[in-house]
Structure 1
Amino acid sequence: MKLKFFTLLLALGATVWSLYSCDNNDDESINVPIELQDAFSAKYPNVANVKWESKSGYYVADFYDGYEASAWFTQDGTWQMTETDIPYTALPQAVKTSFEASEYKSWEIDDVDKLEREGFEIVYVIEVENQNQEMDLYYSQEGVLVKSVVDTDDDRDDQYLPDQNAKLTKEMNDFLNIKYPGFKLVEIDVEDDGKYAGYTEVDITHGSIGKEVLFDKSGEWVLTSWEVRFNTLPEPVKNAINTTYPGQVDDDDADYVEEATGVTYYLIDIENSEIDVKISADGQILD
């Protein structure tokens, strides 16, 4: 009886070890192709204890390399992105300096991610919240605020992946080099709704400014916009808005827009409404 009981314990132990090994054997758990394993090892040669999983049609390697990270690969082994969860203290000093001088400096920091993506500049995303408001702030390594996006709490696992439908053509790249020499590419997306559905939006940094450059379906430049602080606007603009919409504009609710037609204006977001007001530098409200 004792022998049978001991044999049973050994069998149970072997079963538990087999399950544990399967869960932790990255190569066998989801049958990761050898080409993909080689691609990961070439990019991260000193990483061990990798856990593979499948998300949104991609192979994702979760690993620890000083901080928790996830590397995303296509099924043919092409690296797309690595997202690393880092503490605020690990941000570049330029990013911390910029954030601590922003209107969000007193907001609570919820999370910080470092994004490395094929063909793009490194971006740091600081997620902040203030009561019932949540924002995602995208910074370049140089501390340029590329864009600020309302966090809707329905973020997908693949939200940071490059848009596979968006392409920067040679003509677009040539245009950017001429109009914005020395620009750095941050992101490319195809607009999926609204007036500009199907247009390509290219996010860049140009000097110390994050700019959104819009191209139509044929690749022709349509407009460029970037965020500006309301308190820095020309006095005629501030006076006209404060008179027409008193107390309905936050300091971060303005953009400067330059169109391919040669028209330039400020676009002001009016709170508690769906109105965006176009206003010229001399204070004239445009249609």
Structure 2
Amino acid sequence: MKYQKVTSVLAIIVSTTFTACQAQRVEQSDIPSAVLKAFQEKYPQAQAVEWEKESDTELEAEFDLNGEEMSANFSQDGTWMETETEIKRKDLPKAVQSTLKSQFAGYEIEESEKVATPEQPEAYEVEIEKGETTLSVMLDKNGKVLKQETAEPEDEDEDRG
């Protein structure tokens, strides 16, 4: 009986924590006008736009542009922070592919994105997997590893399809 109570409490804690960490969908009508203006100026041709609240200070637009799946993050005051564009692994620069092959041998590429920020106009974020280990690796266009961290497995419901 005691075991069941502990298990139930742990399940509730894990469920609550997981839910709290997920981005929240937000209606466009609830997006600050400065953010909408900045987004529309940067991506006037964007289609199928969906907004999420990443944190109290950051909003993300997921959208399609010229047949590509993209996301762009903005601060509450409309400052552009980052854009990610999904790309195929074959479209990664040769230097990035070479680094992944030499420094992460045995890992399979699960997802790859071209990333642009004000500080780093061209970088690549790659999610790689080997057994139970999933890593998120950020590389510059020359294949230099900028950041590497253990990635949390994504919830399939969050994928855009």
Distance between the aligned counterparts of 1:32 and 1:132, measured in 2?
38
Distance between the aligned counterparts of 1:63 and 1:28, measured in 2?
14
Other-structure match for 2:35:
36
Tell me by how many angstroms 1:73 deviates.
0.9
For residues 1-287 of structure 1, what are the structure 2 equivalents within 5 Å? 29-57=28-56, 58-65=58-65, 66-100=67-101, 102-149=102-149, 151-153=150-152
Distance between the aligned counterparts of 2:104 and 2:73, measured in 1?
30
1:36–1:121: structure 2 CA closer, same or farther, 3 Å change rule?
Answer: closer
Distance between the aligned counterparts of 2:131 and 2:74, measured in 1?
37
Distance between the aligned counterparts of 1:152 and 1:49, measured in 2?
27
SS at match of 2:119: coil
What TM-score does the superposition give when structure 2 sets the normalisation length? 0.66
Structure 1: tracts of 5 or more residues without a match: 1-26, 156-287
Tell me how large the CA RMSD over aligned residues is: 2.5
CA contact (8 A) 1:62 1:69 kept: yes
Tell me by how many angstroms 1:80 deviates.
0.9
Tell me by how many angstroms 1:142 deviates.
1.4
CA contact (8 A) 1:30 1:53 kept: no
Distance between the aligned counterparts of 1:74 and 1:148, measured in 2?
24
Distance between the aligned counterparts of 1:68 and 1:48, measured in 2?
10
Tell me by how many angstroms 1:56 deviates.
0.7
SS at match of 1:35: helix
Tell me by how many angstroms 1:35 deviates.
2.8
Other-structure match for 1:193:
none
- Post-superposition CA distance 1:108-145 (Å, at most 9, x none): 21211222122234321222121122222221111222
- Post-superposition CA distance 1:48-71 (Å, at most 9, x none): 221223221222111012322211
1:138–1:28: structure 2 CA closer, same or farther, 3 Å change rule?
Answer: closer
What TM-score does the superposition give when structure 1 sets the normalisation length? 0.39
Whose radius of gyration is greater, 1 or 2? 1
CA contact (8 A) 2:136 2:151 kept: no
SS at match of 1:36: helix
Distance between the aligned counterparts of 1:154 and 1:108, measured in 2?
14
Q: Give the structure, 1 or 2, with the largest relative contact order (CA under 8 Å, sep 6 or more).
A: 2
Amino acid at match of 2:63: F
SS at match of 2:40: helix
Distance between the aligned counterparts of 1:118 and 1:83, measured in 2?
13
Structure with a larger share of its residues in strand: 2
Structure 2: tracts of 5 or more residues without a match: 1-25, 155-161
SS at match of 2:30: coil
Structure with a larger share of its residues in helix: 2
Other-structure match for 1:223:
none
Distance between the aligned counterparts of 2:36 and 2:112, measured in 1?
28
Distance between the aligned counterparts of 2:28 and 2:39, measured in 1?
16
CA contact (8 A) 2:134 2:153 kept: no
Alignment size in residue pairs: 127
- Post-superposition CA distance 1:72-91 (Å, at most 9, x none): 11111111111222221221
Amino acid at match of 1:143: G
1:72–1:133: structure 2 CA closer, same or farther, 3 Å change rule?
Answer: same
CA contact (8 A) 2:27 2:51 kept: no
CA contact (8 A) 1:60 1:72 kept: yes
